[in-house]
Amino acid sequence: MRKQFAVIGLGRFGSSVCKELYKLGHDVLAIDNNEEKVNNMTDHSTHSVIASGTDESALHSLGIRNFDYVIVAIGDNIQSSILCTLILKELGVSNVWVKAQNYYHHRVLEKIGADRIVHPEQDMGIRIAQHLVSEKIVDYIELSDEYSIIEVIATEKVSNKSLDQLNVRAKYGCTILAIKRGNDINISPFPSEMIELNDILIVIGHKNDLKRFEEEGM
């Protein structure tokens, strides 16, 4: 379903979010107080507007309240990021996602009602570290302090075996959610599904269980 997004702050993070949402077929309003940043986004957004994220009347006139999600990607200027978030919540925006610079910024954003706070640099750092330590792990998404989703490459040890035979849930306590093979993805594999060498398994579980599965089961 087509959704309405607004991205405020078009630095590296904001502009990537904006481009990708637009590419995925959604309506995206791109906002920045820097004219050049706004011009760079004209071909990658539905509308691009020069405005400050701290200008309440400008945001109100843009009908910001009606957007499904507003992403605040104002980076270095923590004060503007906080003020912008506060205005958005006061205007009644239901989903405000904000990029935080540090722990204190995060805590303030939490207090003023940001719906989701992201730390792209830290998250990416963790994912890259996971790739570095294990050649089998091709991607890693942290769900909480305890749970994650990993994408692992099927080795000889698991190939030509069915999910039933592998019995990953009973042996390791984690679940194979989906299997990627080339460009195809099977999101609800049957227990009889056979795993082939170099398939990518998308597995969810407790971090300790995933580690055990990756080290002993793969």
Which positions touch ligand ATP (CB under 6 A)?
A: 8-14, 32-34, 37, 52-54, 73-77, 80
Which of 6/168 has CB closer to ligand ATP?
6
Q: Could you tell me the smallest distance in angstroms from the CB atom of residue 54 to ligand ATP?
A: 5
The least CB distance from residue 24 to ligand ATP, in Å, is 19
Element (H, E) at 84: helix 78-90
DSSP one-letter string for 116-182 = EEE-HHHHHHHHHHHHHH-SSEEEEEE-SSSEEEEEEE--TTTTTEEHHHH-HHHHHS-EEEEEEET
Nearer to ligand ATP, 54 or 148 (CB): 54
- The token duo for 183 is 């460009």
Return the residue nearest ligand ATP (CB atom).
Answer: 75
Residue 39, phi then psi, degrees to nearest 5: -60, -35
Residue 8 or 117 with smaller CB distance to ligand ATP:
8
CB of residue 66 vs ligand ATP: minimum separation in angstroms? 19
**Closer CB to ligand ATP, 24 or 124, in the complex:** 124
Shortest distance (Å) from residue 94 CB to ligand ATP: 21
In the complex, minimum distance from the CB of residue 162 to ligand ATP, in angstroms, rounded to a whole number: 45
How far is C-alpha 203 from the geometric centre of its chain's CA atoms?
17
Burial class (CB in 10 A: 0-12, 13-18, 19+), 90: exposed
Alpha-carbon gap, residue 168 to 42, rounded angstroms: 48
Closer Cβ to ligand ATP, 81 or 130, answer by number: 81
